[in-house]
Amino acid sequence: MDRREIAALLAYIGRLDPRTIRTDPGEARDQLAQWHELLGDVPMATSHGWDARVTARQHIRVSPYQILPADIARPWESYRRDRLQRHTDPTPSVDPDDQAAWTAELVGTRRAVATGSAQPAQYRQITHRRIDPKLKARLREVGSCIPPEARAALAPYRRARAAREAAIAQGQPDALSVPCKWCKAPVGEPCRRRRIGLNGDARGNTPRATPHPGRVDLAAHRVQQPALS
């Protein structure tokens, strides 16, 4: 704010709180100089949510104490800090080999965000919950993120997953989509070898490469049930 804006702000505050009014010309001049010194880098208002008059009015409305320059400077610093925390630096449009221009554009963008003249640049997936309707079609075109060669090389080390994928590829029901009533494996987890100890309790945590037959039958029944209904 320049001196004229500071004078306008003090006049507005004086209408709301007469205690801030200085009738002596010397005191009024000193008050104007003090506020300008402390709030010279704070804008009167921005197009993105900041207004010094709103901040002053809020303080006068809720606080019994006379307003000070710090009561406007502190909210302004919080406003700047919040905007910078929500900002993600976009890729500059200049030549990346020109380090000076690259840095200058980054600094300029951050300054514009901090001063309220530009909105923070955020990741779209974080700020918007709507998913692109074309995403599923693109995923079907791309297929799995694991190349077939890598999937085949990993098959000996994750036998349960390989057996599940092979069964689904052959049109069989996904046995891991239902829990196993024999080994108590939850949905999505492979079956485990269940042994009965001498005391009659079930034990054993070794995962099986193939699901228990009862789990396969249950998955097939779940698949057939909607068709019958």
Q: Which residues pair with 202 in a beta bridge?
A: 196
pLDDT tens for the 229 residues of the chain, in order: 999 999 999 999 999 999 999 999 999 999 999 999 999 999 999 888 899 999 999 999 999 999 999 999 999 999 988 888 888 888 888 888 888 988 998 888 888 888 887 888 776 545 555 666 776 776 666 666 677 788 788 878 877 778 887 887 788 888 888 998 888 888 888 888 877 666 766 566 778 888 888 988 888 888 776 555 4
Residues with Cβ < 8 Å from 75, sequence gap 6 or more?
55
Position 37 scores a pLDDT of: 95
Position 9 scores a pLDDT of: 95
pTM score above 0.85: no
- Matching residue, tokens 């955020």: 122
Position 202 scores a pLDDT of: 58
Question: What CA dihedral angle connects 194, 197, 201 and 205, to 10 degrees?
Answer: -30
Strand pairing category for 202-203 and 195-196: antiparallel
Q: Which pairs with CB-CB distance under 8 Å and at least 24 residues apart come from 65-72?
A: 66/17, 66/19, 66/20, 67/13, 67/17, 67/20, 69/34, 69/35, 69/38, 69/39, 70/38, 72/39, 72/42
pLDDT digit string, tens, across residues 22-44: 999 999 999 999 999 999 999 99
